[in-house]
Amino acid sequence: MTSAQHRPVGPRYEGWLTGIDSICYGGDYNPEQWPEEVWEQDVTLMREAGVNLVSIGIFSWALLEPREGEFDFAWLDRLIELLHANGIHIDLATPTASPPAWFFHAYPQARVVTREGTVLGFGSRGMASPSSPDYRAAALRITEALGDRYGSHPALALWHVHNEYGAPVSEDYSPTSAAAFRDWLRARYTTLDGLNAAWGTRFWGQVYGEWEHVGVPAATPSVANPAQRLDFARFTNDSLLACFTAERDALHARSQAPVTTNFMAAECPSTDLFAWGREVDVVSNDHYLTAADPRCEVGLALAADLTRSVAGGKPWMLLEHSPSGVNWQPRNVAKRPGEMARSAFSHVGRGADAVMFFQWRASRSGAEKFHGAMLPHAGTSSRVWREIVALGADLAAASELVGSRVSADVALLWDQESLWAQGLEWRPSVDVDARERINTFYDRFWRDGVQVDFAHPSQDLSGYKLVVAPASYLLTAESAANLTRFVEGGGTLLVSFFSGIVNEFDAVHEGGFLAPLRDALGVTVEEFLPLRAGETLQVALDDAGVAPGLTGTLTASVWADDLTLAGASVVGTYLDGPAPGAPAITRNTHGSGTGWYLSTQLDVDALATVLAPVYADAGLTPSGLPEELEVIRRSGAAADYVVAINHGSSPLSVESSAALGTPAAGATDLITGAEVDADVKVEAGGVRVLRVPRAIS
Ligand code: GAL
């Protein structure tokens, strides 16, 4: 495969929002829930808070098209003029995430049917079947009408297509969807023989003799065909994406403004974001903290790094997050003082050039009245409002970060198809969880202060020093060849267990488990040896003359492999468990690079031990900063920027030159405007944003 065959990453569009040259600040604005006299107060307060962009019209279809084909834009005209007169730009939505009551009444066949056969009703939100021709026609009609009316409006900075494709529903098991799935399968396999072979239908007598007999993988008596389910996940993604591209194209035909749709990176299992990233003009993301997670800042950072990676490293937009608690988690923990700024600047540090919230003014009615808002029910005398105003000022002061980029030497592999496939039933152990592995490896890098990107295994990886596969269950032969070439070219590859198992049809690779990575890793897997619930085992480390510093014993859990060596050195050996004395961790040299294999589950502390020689192989150095101090660097045309966030409860210093490049002399604090001492203190819970002159970095 030449580099031209690598899967491209990120939007092709080179522009950014028209009319805004500072960090975008604002949120979802739903003024149709309020009398118009409130709008005047809204814009006055928006100006006080430094708001320069609002997302409008997201759920307004029923008001904009009260009867099929009859439009009422008068209120939206007034709203847009008011915002424009006050210098506030608009991110104008197509309202297609929430079709009106008349639509479902007129087109009942467009309703989504669940896997268990329940027909979903009206009275909440959620789109109709993405495969429904009636839905697609209605969505296009309202999109075209909005494009015609507002496509050239000077207040228009961005189009916001739909809302969070894939949520709250994605897969549809209706007859409408089944017909579209058959068309999709015909296009993919051409013949029924091709489909039967790809799905392995000779197993359990599932062979199809007629296209009409092929259906959606609805509830079945026992486990459904995994290849069919994997294809259904792909089909669902493609159907949602086709809805997006149809609306995008209609807007492109009518307007110069860029088009986005808000992702839920790391949280929406039905969309293959690397594919979506190529279709939007600007990548944007919604992120909500997981209140139950005491270190939710790590999950935030993961989502932000994934979003930036989907954007191919280009600046991206945080289109929604919450000023305080949300309303949909079991316990909706309010953000504590300072947390709003820490969250916002972590996104900014990781490449966001927009900090937007859900939502501007708290709703008095409906399902989200207990959700945090920039202007909460308590009004302007609230702590949340004061922090919103302060954050607006701080972001304005940090505006020169706009357009600067984050770079990383480490790539963590992320492949949604593999996540879909691994998530199906009847895998060797219920304790193996792909997301757990990704999160744990990510957490290790976060604690080490090592910046990572996420990468698709088929993309060009040659710019990275270290590539990590925490969970690459489905790995195509082409992607495995790409990883092997990466090693041959001098890269360091670290592969964790239960990777390289199946191909794109969820069929085990010829040659056995891990066979496609045999050359890179010098090892294959003869048999899986999953552990019983709660069981642990011990791994004795041995540097074997190739992994300096690798000594001692580690405790591991969940999994072991019975490995067959094919050239690798053994640097970790099972002391107990199902295969005492057998290799557990291996290191291989191949071409000019190195391939590591980890056949068991290590926690975040144990990973630190194993990663030390891996970092050495890759020529990487951890930051050496305290774990609670998050330090991220963005590089601009003329200067670098350092965002330092103290998640701890006592002051910390960014004293290490590893973080700043050199001692901080000559750096400026963008928020205070002050020159910075060599020892940069960050108060407990505080944030600092520094400009570091390029000459000394
Ligand atoms: C998002 C959604 C918003 C709002 C928010 C509440 O997923 O896009 O409309 O519902 O959640 O947290």
Report which of 101, 80, 82, 100 is spatially closest to residue 91, judged by C-alpha positions: 80
Residues 503, 591: one domain? yes
Atom of ligand 1 nearest to the CA of 163: 8
Residues 551, 423: one domain? yes
Query: Of 597, 618, 639, at which residue does a domain stop?
Result: 618
| 165 CB within 6 A, ligand 1 | no
Q: Classify residue 19 as exposed, middle or buried by CB count within 10 Å of its CB (0-12, 13-18, 19+).
A: middle
Report which of 467, 160, 156 is spatially closest to residue 309, judged by C-alpha positions: 467
What pLDDT is attached to residue 617?
Answer: 98
Query: Of 553, 584, 618, at which residue does a domain stop?
Result: 618
Residues 558, 430: one domain? yes
Residues of the chain scoring pLDDT < 50: 1-4, 696-697
**Catalytic residue (one of 65, 164, 247, 504):** 164
Q: Give, using CA atoms, the residue closest to atom 4 of ligand 1.
A: 358
Residue 374 CA, ligand 1 centroid: distance in Å: 14
Report yes or no on 382 lying in a domain: no
Report yes or no on 245 lying in a domain: no
Report which of 417, 469, 502, 480 is spatially closest to residue 599, judged by C-alpha positions: 469
Which of the 8 DSSP states describes residue 399?
Answer: G
Which of the 8 DSSP states describes residue 568?
Answer: P
Alpha carbon distance 518, 511 (integer Å): 10
Report yes or no on 517 lying in a domain: yes
Residues 582, 656: one domain? no
Active site residue 164: yes
Report yes or no on 239 lying in a domain: no
Q: Which two structure tokens, joined as six digits, stand for 132?
A: 């429904």
What pLDDT is attached to residue 1?
Answer: 43
What pLDDT is attached to residue 666?
Answer: 82
Please provide the DSSP assignment of 478-510 as one string: HHHHHHHHHHHTT-EEEEESS-S-B-TTS-BPT
Query: Which residue segment(s) compose the domain that 678 sits in?
Result: 629-692
Report yes or no on 668 lying in a domain: yes
We report the CATH number of the domain holding residue 677 as: 2.60.40.1180
Residues 520, 643: one domain? no
Report yes or no on 272 lying in a domain: no
Alpha carbon distance 618, 494 (integer Å): 10
| 345 CB within 6 A, ligand 1 | no
For residue 511, count other CB atoms closer than 10 A to its CB: 10
Report yes or no on 389 lying in a domain: no
Alpha carbon distance 419, 424 (integer Å): 9
Active site residue 526: no
Q: Give, using CA atoms, the residue closest to atom 3 of ligand 1.
A: 358
Residues 635, 570: one domain? no
Give me the helices (H) in 169-262, please: 175-189, 192-199, 226-252
**Catalytic residue (one of 65, 247, 297, 320):** 320
Tell me the best of 286, 359, 363 to mutate to test the pocket of ligand 1, counting ligand atoms within 8 Å of each CB and taking the most.
286
Tell me the best of 368, 369, 370, 374 to mutate to test the pocket of ligand 1, counting ligand atoms within 8 Å of each CB and taking the most.
368
Report yes or no on 104 lying in a domain: no
| 596 CB within 6 A, ligand 1 | no
We report the CATH number of the domain holding residue 525 as: 3.40.50.880
Residues 578, 640: one domain? no
Q: Which residues pair with 317 in a beta bridge?
A: 284
Alpha carbon distance 526, 523 (integer Å): 10
Helix, strand, coil percent values for the chain (each to nearest 5): 35, 20, 45
Q: Which two structure tokens, joined as six digits, stand for 447?
A: 């604690």
| Number of domains forming the structure of the chain | 2
Residues 683, 588: one domain? no
Alpha carbon distance 514, 524 (integer Å): 5
Query: Of 618, 647, 677, at which residue does a domain stop?
Result: 618
Report which of 450, 662, 69 is spatially closest to residue 676, judged by C-alpha positions: 662
The alpha carbon torsion through 380, 383, 345, 642 (nearest 10 deg) reads: 110
Alpha carbon distance 587, 572 (integer Å): 9
Residues 458, 607: one domain? yes
Residues 451, 592: one domain? yes
Assign 183 to helix, strand or coil. helix
Residues 467, 556: one domain? yes
Residue 231 CA, ligand 1 centroid: distance in Å: 28
Task: Mark residue 552 as left, alpha or beta (left: phi above 0; alpha: psi -120 to 50; beta: remaining).
Answer: left
Residues 454, 499: one domain? yes
Asked if the peptide bond before residue 538 counts as cis, ω within 30 degrees of 0, the response is no
Alpha carbon distance 336, 67 (integer Å): 45
Alpha carbon distance 666, 649 (integer Å): 28
Assign 5 to helix, strand or coil. helix
Contact at 8 Å (CB) between 32 and 63?
yes
